[in-house]
Amino acid sequence: MVRAVETTRVAQITGAGTGTDERFGIHATDLGILWDDGDGRVLVLFGDTYGRGWGGDGAGPPEADWRCNVLAHSSQRDLSAGLVLDGVVAREDGLAAQVLASARDEVTIIPNAGIAVDGKQYVQYMSVRAWGPPGQWHTNYGGIAVSADGGTTWDQPGRARWINRAERDHPFQIGSFARAENHVYLFGTTNGRFGPAYLARVDPSSLLEPAAYRYWTGEGWGRDEFAAAPVLPGPVGELSVEYSVHFGCWLAMHLDEHRAAIVLRTADRLEGPWSDGQVVVSGQDWPALYGGYLHPWALDGDEIYYLVSQWGPYNVFLFKTKLEQ
C-alpha cells in the first residue's frame, strides 16, 4: 500500500513573477498537462489562457488575448525549486499561440491528456458546447489530435472523435492516456467532474481510429463503449495516470469534487482494483483547486511532482508529495 506522507507547494509556474507573462503572454492559465515527447523534452499543455488585460480573478475577459489552449516545453530535470518553461509554440509576435483550433459551435476546446507514440504527439481533447453549474458542462465530442512536428502544428481528424449524445452520457469525453505492454490505454469520463472513469485500449498504430478501441467490461474487452464498466469510482475530474518505477504500481491522481481535494489512487493493473482515493492536496488549504497532472520524469523515487490549478489566481503551481510503502 502506497500512501502520502507529506505534501508541499514548490512554486508557481505561470503568471506574474514567473516570467511567463512577459515572455509568452501567459498572464493567467490553467491545467498544465505533462508528457514526455520522446525527444528530451516534457510538453506542457495549458487550457484557456489570457494575456494583457486579464481580469485578475478566474478566467476572462475574452478580449484579454484569450487563447483556448497553449503549448510549452521544458527540459528541466531537477524540480526541487520549480518548473521552468523553456519556450512555447509561438505566433508571429513571439507570444504563445493557440495550438488546437476551435469551431463556431463550441465555447472552448480544452486538452485533457497527451502522449508520444512512434515519433508523433497525440492529445485527447474535448469540444465544450456549453458551461453548466460548477463542475458540469456539455461537450460536443471528445477527440484526439495529432502532431508530426513535435507539437508545432496539429491535425484534428474528424474521424478521431467520440460524439456525445443527447443524454450527455458518453463515457469517453474527457481522457487520460497510459502506455503498457503492446497497447495505448485511454481512461475516459463523461462531461464534467462527477462521473466514474472507464478504460479502453488500442493498438498504437490505430490511435486515431475509434472503431479499433476495445473497452473494459469488467470481464474482458468489448467493442461497445457504453458497455464499459467503471474502473475508478466517481467523482473523477482531471485524471492523470502514470507508472511508478520506484513503487512498482500505477498511480492515478484526480480531483474529487465532493471532497474538494486532489486524491491519489494506486493499482497493480490499469483495470484495477484501484485503492481508495487518499487526499494529497485539500481545498481547505488551497481553495478552488483542480487538476493534478503528474510529471513523467518524477516517478523513479519516493517523491512525485505534479501540477495543480487554482481558480481564483487562475494559474498553475508545482506541488510535490512524499510517498511511502
pLDDT band for position 308 (50/70/90)? very high
Digit-coded pLDDT (tens) for 148-163: 999 999 999 999 999 9
pLDDT digits (tens, 9 = 90+) for 108-137: 999 999 999 999 999 999 999 999 999 999
Hunting for cell 512525485 — which residue is that? 304
Dmax (CA) for the chain in angstroms is 53
Domain containing residue 279: 3-324
The alpha carbon torsion through 75, 77, 83, 84 (nearest 10 deg) reads -40
Asked if residues 120 and 148 have their Cβ atoms less than 8 Å apart, the reply is yes
Against a cut of 0.85, is the pTM above it?
yes
Q: What is the band of 292 on the pLDDT scale with cuts at 50, 70, 90? A: very high
What is the spatial distance between Cα 55 and Cα 222, in angstroms, rounded to a whole number? 47
Tell me, what's the pLDDT at 2? 92
* pLDDT score for 161: 98
Query: From CA 282, how far away is CA 257, in angstroms rounded?
Result: 11
C-alpha cell at 250: 500505477
The tens digit of pLDDT for each residue in 276-289 reads: 999 999 999 999 99
Q: What pLDDT, on the 0 to 100 scale, is given for residue 83?
A: 97
Residues 232-248: tens digit of each pLDDT: 999 999 999 999 999 99
- Domain count for the chain, please give it: 1
List alpha helices for 218-273, DSSP H: none
**In DSSP terms, which residues pair with 232 in a beta bridge?**
197
- pLDDT range class, residue 1, cuts 50, 70, 90: confident
Q: Flag whether pLDDT at 104 surpasses 90.
A: no
Q: Across-strand partners of 281?
A: 262
Question: What are phi and psi for residue 23, nearest 5 degrees?
Answer: -75, -40
- 197-233 pLDDT, tens digit per residue, is 999 999 999 999 999 999 999 999 999 999 999 999 9
User: Residue 66: what pLDDT?
Assistant: 98
Residue 258 has which C-alpha cell? 465532493
Planar angle of CA 52, 54, 57, nearest 5 degrees: 155
Q: Please tell me what DSSP assigns to residue 285.
A: T
pLDDT at 22 over 90: yes
Please give the average per-residue pLDDT across 309-319, as a whole number.
98
Preceding omega of 133 cis (within 30 degrees of 0): no
The alpha carbons of the chain give a radius of gyration, in whole angstroms, of 18
CATH value at residue 261: 2.115.10.20
| % of residues, the chain, pLDDT over 90 | 98
Q: Is the pLDDT of residue 92 over 90?
A: yes
